[in-house]
Every structure is written in C-alpha cells, then in structure tokens.
Amino acid sequence: MKKIERGMAFASRHVDIFKCPVCGEGFEEVMNGSFSCSKGHQFDFSKKGTLYFLRHGVKSDYDDIKMWEARRFVLKAGLFQPIIDEILSLIPEKNYLRIVDVGCGEGSTLKYVEEQRTNREDAYVGFDISKKAINLATRDEGSAFFCIADLAQLPFASKSFDVILDMFSPSAYGEFDRILKSKGLLFKVIPNANYLIELRHMLYEENDPQYSYSNDKVLTLFKRHYPHAKIKKITYEFPLSKTFFESLVYMTPLHWGAAAEKIDAALAKGLNKITIDVLLLIVENN
C-alpha cells in the first residue's frame, strides 16, 4: 500500500479523531485524495500520506533537516529509551488506545512506542509544526499517522485520545485538557539543570545565560494547571561515540547560539558520555 493510501485509510478508520481547524466541525469522509469536514472545508493528503492543517505560514529554526536527521540518528540509538520505557510502564496494558505525540519531530518516539506495544491495535498520531520533520517521520514503516498542525489549535476532536506524549515540546494545556479522554494520561518530559550539561559547558562561557538552565518557570506553570500531578526524576548517562557526539551537537538547539569556534572546538574534543537529567510529569485526567 502506498503512503498516501495508508494515510487516507487511517483517516477513514479514525474520522472521529479529527476536527476541522477552520470551522471546528467534525470530518465526514475521505474522497479523491481529500479529507472533508461537514461544512465542506477540504484538506489534501500529500504523497507521503500526511495532512497540512496549518492556517498560517511558519518560519522556524526547527525546520532544519540537518537537525532532524541528527536527532533521528541519536534517538534511534536509544538516547531517550529509558524515559520512554518508564512512560510505557505507566500506560495501561489494554488494547485500542489512541496515543498522540505532541511535537513528534521525526517520529522516533512514536515508532518506538508502537514497537513495544505489539498486537495492541492502537491508533497513533504524531504532529509537528515542521513539515521537514513530518516528512522524515513517514520514512518508517508503521501504522502512525502524521500531520502538520498548530499546537494552539489542534485539529483533533474533544475527548479523542487516551494518552498524550509531550517530550521536550511546548504545551497548550487548555487544548490538552480538551482532547484528552476521561481517565486519560498526559506525560510531559522537561529538562532538569544537568540535562546535557557537559555539552552546555563546552559551548558556552560561565557568564553566558546558556551556561546554566532552570526549569522553574515551566514547572511552576505546569503545577498551576495540574496541582495533583505526579513527578518522577529520571537521570542517567548515555555513552557517545564520535559520530553520536557530532549528531548530538546538531540535534539540540544549544548549538544555535554558540560561537562557531566553540562548536568546532567541541567537535574536535568530543565527549564519551552525556548526562540525561529530566522530570517526567504525569497527569491522569478526571
């Protein structure tokens, strides 16, 4: 089956997951390569089986194919596997869950989740604002459906997902609350102060704001929305080869503001391990 056929088949099977970002109505059918809502707004499937739901142009540093390819390489090597394994241990062992990955990037996280939840017949959806990332995500064989969408105006129906995954991505808590089912689970991962600290210290001087990091603002806002959330600290070291280190440098926004000579020096020196230090924030919807 071609990718466009797979995408259309997914939308046809799970039409109730989606809502039109133009008028807010539900979608009715897939016909002639388009997804149509009840008021006639149409969205065309790409050859890769994706849908473009944005209603405005996007200019973002994240639409960088080199960054996404580097991220894909390192994630497939297992950089975040202990985090995702912890999440998987908290997802109910039942069938037919609907799982959405917020800011899914190049799709590695969603692919890993699907591989671990074999024979569950779940429905997987990933979305990102970066078209290049979404195109890269479609390279993997799998059942997940990918789309380009706006976090602040999600093209999903209310109470349509059992699980929301948010790995290092921005959040729109009002939208999360809207699309999450009763008793559904939200998993949000945020960095701690020591996340990638070795790389941070290689790329920046002590007097630079980027030399250190605090998640206080993000965590305070999250707790304001979800005062009863559970919080789990996850810390480990990930071994790096020279090739992995080069990809790590380019997969993280840390390299954006770094001086060219600092990046060159870091690449020349390398690292044999990196610290992963995060908080896993867990919410069960009422």
In a shared domain, residues 246 and 221: yes
**Coil, strand or helix at 47:** coil
Answer yes or no: is 104 a known binding residue: no
Positive or negative, the Cα torsion across 207, 212, 217, 220? negative
Q: Output the pLDDT for position 61.
A: 64
In a shared domain, residues 205 and 265: yes
Listed residues 11, 26, 49: the one ending a domain: 49
Q: Output the pLDDT for position 59.
A: 66
**Coil, strand or helix at 252:** coil
Q: Output the pLDDT for position 62.
A: 72
In a shared domain, residues 201 and 236: yes
In a shared domain, residues 215 and 91: yes
In a shared domain, residues 202 and 125: yes
Total of domains in the chain? 2
In a shared domain, residues 191 and 260: yes
Q: Going along 160-227, which residue ranges are E strands?
A: 161-167, 180-191
Answer yes or no: is 53 a known binding residue: no
> Helix H segments across 52-121?
65-76, 81-90, 108-116
Which of 122, 66, 133 lies closest to 91, judged by CA? Answer: 122
In a shared domain, residues 6 and 143: no
In a shared domain, residues 187 and 121: yes
Q: Output the pLDDT for position 56.
A: 75
In a shared domain, residues 18 and 38: yes
In a shared domain, residues 36 and 126: no
- State which residues form the domain around 43: 1-49
18 CB burial (10 A radius; 0-12, 13-18, 19+): buried
Q: Contact at 8 Å (CB) between 7 and 15?
A: no
- Tens of pLDDT along the chain (286 residues)? 899 999 999 999 999 999 999 999 999 999 999 999 999 999 999 999 999 999 876 666 677 899 999 999 999 999 999 999 999 999 999 999 999 999 999 999 999 999 999 999 999 999 999 999 999 999 988 999 999 999 999 999 999 999 999 999 999 999 999 999 999 999 999 999 999 999 999 999 999 999 999 999 999 999 999 999 999 999 999 999 999 999 999 999 999 999 999 999 999 999 999 999 999 999 999 8
In a shared domain, residues 186 and 247: yes
Answer yes or no: is 257 a known binding residue: no
Q: Output the pLDDT for position 207.
A: 96
**CATH label of the domain that carries residue 85:** 3.40.50.150
Q: Output the pLDDT for position 189.
A: 98
Token digits of residue 15: 């039409």
Answer yes or no: is 195 a known binding residue: yes
In a shared domain, residues 21 and 151: no
Answer yes or no: is 80 a known binding residue: yes
